[in-house]
């Protein structure tokens, strides 16, 4: 019988984890080159984001959706560093890593640097990576060194079989700290087995106030149309502001900038079926809408909402084209240990979003819009999100889609 291989399980709740288990028997450069690498990696990550969203759109059962595709891309990119042969080929195609290794590594390094707020910023944005390896396990220094150099992921030793609860507590404390206490108990006891050998974690946290807040006194309960036949009473926020806006062919889009204009929320509001929009949304569509946005005075109605999501991503990622990574006989992560003894056993992603009158707070374990000062327009537009819509939170400086979701029912 062929021996069982090491298991790598990617787990996330507001962090994206990769747990690697053992067998039972056995900085970016500066200048033009850096900018090019950054744009290539951002484009790849955003392509993955839309591919991934279309997949979960079809399997969500009409529920709210919220994920950080950036977190998922980053955690999988760290895993990709240790992949080889057909496993690497499949992961590269799913993640759109059609660039040289040096360019990918430099791009991720620069993206991490660019999304780190400098002093005096009016928002909080933290992205963190870390490795949690079994003590005395023979990890390749080239692998752990690449994670440290290009992803800022320090290597930490734990003892999964000897001190399971202590190992879990150490990782969960790190995740909780990196997400301002919003993600607690990321790893559950049954996520770790005696075969676990490595956990790769990514955590992302964002909190920002609107550049133009909603007045709390204007919020009132109104009907939100979940479907054509179902509606709920939801707290609907109201404001009139100068914003970038476009409406055409049954779809309205608006940019809601956060204070400092470094990040924005882009809301896509179809006249009718949001699931149909989700099935057909592409990066090209979003970029075209952004380019068509024009400054306007807009009456905005948006529900206040807060929810958490959790996904097991094995099946979805396999369907996207990387099944070998999850197969204990076919997976090849020999770049991590020098031998083909690893496979991904589980990928879990958990995220939370809180949107209110003051701004937004989001965290996850994984639309570039240039905001100019808007000019007063003679005609007033209306953007009334009283039925399901899609939204993204983007880092304007790089164009990176950090979070993406769908509100089907704001009070569920």
Average pLDDT rounded to a whole number, residues 93-99 = 96
Average pLDDT rounded to a whole number, residues 233-258 = 95
Q: What is the DSSP string of 318-342?
A: HHHT-GGGG-TTT---HHHHSSS-E
Alpha-carbon distance of 245 to 314, in angstroms, equals 37
Query: If pLDDT is split at 50, 70 and 90, which confidence band does 379 have?
Result: low
CATH 3.40.1280.10 fits 209-305+367-407, yes or no: no
pLDDT in tens, 322-332: 999 988 889 89
Q: Name the CATH topology of 6-208+307-352.
A: Antithrombin; Chain I, domain 2 (3.30.497)
Average pLDDT rounded to a whole number, residues 270-286 = 92
Alpha-carbon distance of 334 to 139, in angstroms, equals 10
Q: Sketch the domain layout of the chain as residue ranges.
A: 6-208+307-352, 209-305+367-407
Q: Name the DSSP letter for residue 33.
A: H
Whole-model pTM: value is 0.86
Checking if the pLDDT of 179 tops 50, the result is: yes
**Which of 22 and 302 is assigned the larger pLDDT?**
302
Query: Could you tell me whether strands 123-134 and 154-158 are parallel, antiparallel, or unpaired per DSSP bridges?
Result: parallel
pLDDT in tens, 221-238: 999 999 989 999 999 999
Number of neighbours of residue 98 by Cβ within 10 angstroms = 11
pLDDT in tens, 116-163: 887 888 899 998 888 888 898 888 999 999 999 999 988 899 998 899
Q: What is the DSSP string of 333-396?
A: -HHHHSSS-EEEEEEEEEEEEEE-SSEEEEEE-------PPPPP-SSEEEEE--S-EEEEEEET
Query: If pLDDT is split at 50, 70 and 90, which confidence band does 365 have?
Result: very low
């Amino acid at each position: 019988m062929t021996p069982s291989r090491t298991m790598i399980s990617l787990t996330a709740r507001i962090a994206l984890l990769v747990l690697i288990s053992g067998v039972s028997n056995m900085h970016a450069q500066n200048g033009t080159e850096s900018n090019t690498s950054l744009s290539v990696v951002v484009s790849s990550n955003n392509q993955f984001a839309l591919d991934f969203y279309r997949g979960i759109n079809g399997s969500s059962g009409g529920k709210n959706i919220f994920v950080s595709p950036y977190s998922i891309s980053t955690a999988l990119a760290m895993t990709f560093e240790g992949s080889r042969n057909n496993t690497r080929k499949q992961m590269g195609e799913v993640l759109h890593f059609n660039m040289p290794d040096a360019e990918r590594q430099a791009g991720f390094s620069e993206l991490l640097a660019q999304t780190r707020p400098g002093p005096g910023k009016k928002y909080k944005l933290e992205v963190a990576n870390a490795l949690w390896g079994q003590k005395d396990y023979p990890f390749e220094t080239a692998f752990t060194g690449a994670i440290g150099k290009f992803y800022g992921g320090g290597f930490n030793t734990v003892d999964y079989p000897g001190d399971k609860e202590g190992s879990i507590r150490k990782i969960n404390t790190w995740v909780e700290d990196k997400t301002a206490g919003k993600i607690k108990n990321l790893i559950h006891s049954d996520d770790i087995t005696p075969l676990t050998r490595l956990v790769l974690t990514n955590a992302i946290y964002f909190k920002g106030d609107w550049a133009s807040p909603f007045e709390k006194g204007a919020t009132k309960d109104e009907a939100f149309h979940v479907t054509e036949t179902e509606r709920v009473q939801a707290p609907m926020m109201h404001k009139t502001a100068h914003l970038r806006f476009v409406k055409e062919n049954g779809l309205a889009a608006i940019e809601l900038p956060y204070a400092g204009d470094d990040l924005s929320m882009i809301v896509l509001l179809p006249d009718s079926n949001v699931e149909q929009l989700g099935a057909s949304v592409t990066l090209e569509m979003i970029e075209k809408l952004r380019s068509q946005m024009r400054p306007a005075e807009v009456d905005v109605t948006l529900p206040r909402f807060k929810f958490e999501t959790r996904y097991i991503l094995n099946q979805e990622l396999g369907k996207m084209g990387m099944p070998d990574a999850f197969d204990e006989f076919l997976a090849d992560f020999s770049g991590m240990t020098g031998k083909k003894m690893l496979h991904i056993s589980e990928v879990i992603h958990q995220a939370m979003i809180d949107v209110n009158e003051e701004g937004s707070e989001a965290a996850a374990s994984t639309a570039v819009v240039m905001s100019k000062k808007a000019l007063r327009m003679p005609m007033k537009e209306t953007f009334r999100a009283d039925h399901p819509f899609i939204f993204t939170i983007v880092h304007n400086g790089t164009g990176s889609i950090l979070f993406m979701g769908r509100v089907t029912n704001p009070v569920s």
